[in-house]
A and B are shown apart, each in its own frame.
Chain A
Amino acid sequence: MLSIHNLTIRYGEQNAVRDLSLVVDSGEIMSLVGPTGCGKSSVLRAVAGIRKPDGGQIVIEGLCTSNQRFVPPEKRRTGLVFQDFALFPHLNVERNIGFRVKDTKAVETWISTLGLEAFRKAMPETLSGGQKQRVALARSLAHRPRLLLLDEPLSNLDAAMKMELRPLIREAIKQAGVTALWVTHDQEEAITIGDRIAVMQHGRIEQVGTPQQCYEAPTSRFAAEFFGEGRFLAGERQGECARTPLGECQIVSHTPQKKEGAIEVLLRPHDIALVLTPTGNAMVESHRYEGETRRYGIRLENGDYLEARLSHELQFEVGKRVEATISAGHPLAAFSPASSQQPPES
């Protein structure tokens, strides 16, 4: 188990991480996700003990560390998997994996689990990126860490390799039964890899939740826009419902503060259904064929623009009128209107 309490990290005058708290349960994979520069790597480096925190406390399986009680990285038993792999160039695959392992069985287990038998004697520079990252993972796991930290492990690899490695790495971590903190800037990666997700922005955590919670019920506009596509539709709140130009819908109860008044509802492309009718409430403005699906841009009578993703079998011509309705079977996330959230400074 990892628990972080009120962590603060400063770079000069800049606060990279502010008063951040996060708990990762035993055996859980937590994705720590956010845009570049949000401080997520600083959190990871502080947990690993590479960077001394300026404030707060980090507890790794009962091992308590802080600025005053700093524990050097080698005493923490946190396996660290780097973006640049950080394999030792003078050691072959087998020696890299067994760097400080006395029990050769552990080395063998991970060599075979991660499919590295063929290159066990190879030197790191002869390996491809995907192979290098498998070696790096095997190396970390063979050292039996209390906690596994992954710092953008897939960002140096191409798209196909990412898709191939995500389930492989997830399975290996689960097989090892180790608690893991996986840092990434890729929302898709965060969703597919994590048991839970922590969304970070400007050195703070915006939301912690399961991938489904984060995607379907984001608690902030930032999280809403960060995960997947979506547009905001203006409406009027009435208790647990919202009245919008596309009809009424249920909204997630936790979001806006006021029970009545103007709100904006998050609509993902697949939350909208379209039916061809001459008296429809919207006009098809654009169309893109995506293979399995088609994506339509529609313009409402009030001028709002929305996007809908439909089955490839449903084909509408640009310029036709359609009736747009909300087809989502779950409550939608809703927020106070953007303009009222950031009042103009006077």
Chain B
Amino acid sequence: MPNQIDELDEELRELLRRKADAIGPPDGLERTMRRSTRRLARNAVVALLTLGLLGSGAVAGVRSLGGATGTKPADTSPSPSPMPQASGSSGVRSAVSTEGVTWFHPTPEMPLGLAGADGTLWVASGGNIAFPAPASDPGAEAGVASLARFDVDTGKITTVEVGQAGDVGVAAAFGDAWVLRRSGEVIRIDGVSLRKEASIRVPNPSEAAADGSLWVVSLGGTLTRIDPRTNAIVATIDTGVPATRGIENNGDLVPPNNGVPATGVSVGDGSVWVRGGGRVVRVDPETNAVQTTIDLGGSVDGLAVGPSGVWASVCGPGGPPCTWQLVRIDPATNAVASRRVLGRWESSAMPGVKGSIGRAGITVDSGSVWVSLAVNYNQYARGKILRIDPATGEIAATLVVPGSGGTTVGVTEQANTSDIFGPALIEGGAVWVINIESGEVVRIDLPGF
């Protein structure tokens, strides 16, 4: 801090005081009271609904890594809280829980990527990417991207830096974390030591999945196959999905739609499946060749492969506005076996429309298909988790993900802030969701895994 008090400092103090005084009295008391009353009522309803789910057995119980089981949350404040740790740090993060939902905060700034395997959860955070350094002061504001390792049993969290702030994703494979830097790099981080094992140049990596190899799809639609024994690229495959470069931001590429990668990849049923544009492309790992391209129309947002088939969330036919559908592809025929309407994305304009669904992520386990929805994306968004019975395609359970400490991140008529939920993930007997804007990682304990 500069200790010297010069003329400019004094002028600045005077300027701020006078500008602040000139703003006048606040208005909106009545409006604030109405909104807060509605929110409190909504919180009560959500609490009752959640308790109802508990009673029906849909919610397994309370799991708290930071406090006593079953207690009310100690704090939902925007926090006088510990600093995000920068490098090589570890500790048990603060967590609050209520009725089967646990919030972990703070995570490093801007969590964007979520992956998990073998009881370990990985969260990749972009750092301060919203405030890029000005050209006159490069590096001054950018900060660092980081990777956090959550032990889902103990709550221990260890964080390492993974380069300059920027858009990131993460995959868990071969016991390690693979950090995807959209700027053109895949970084392999040792799952135990958290040391950097390798850096592999891959153009604009979007998502990755693994069977015997690591498969990385680029924003441009290229599929890159990496041998985990040598960390060498052994094949690059043009999948033919539409190239999407993303938005240039501080020299980095930010995928459109606030972090939803335009392309994605999943493995299962002996194939590699790539999504991009309105298509799902099936690749044969034996030949590294495209087997078939399935046109689903619209835009494919989520893709997951499980025992019940290949599942995709599609918003189409054009738009937004468009209609979200949960589509199941039968891998035996490569044909669409079922479609189920999930809702509408009414508009991408700000402010959004109440009830509008801005994104739909999918994850699959042996017994269920889980759909993570961000409702009313451009205003406050509610995270909503649907559990789908793969046999019938019907919704077996619905849970609105509350915000910190039991307050609902509710839909309001105000349009100047939002809470954006990323895709869900299942690990360690729970559904995990990241909240991009609040920087929270949310754990929802549900049975049936």
Do A and B interact with each other, yes or no?
no
Which A residues contact B (CB, under 8 angstroms)? Answer: none
Which B residues contact A (CB, under 8 angstroms)? Answer: none
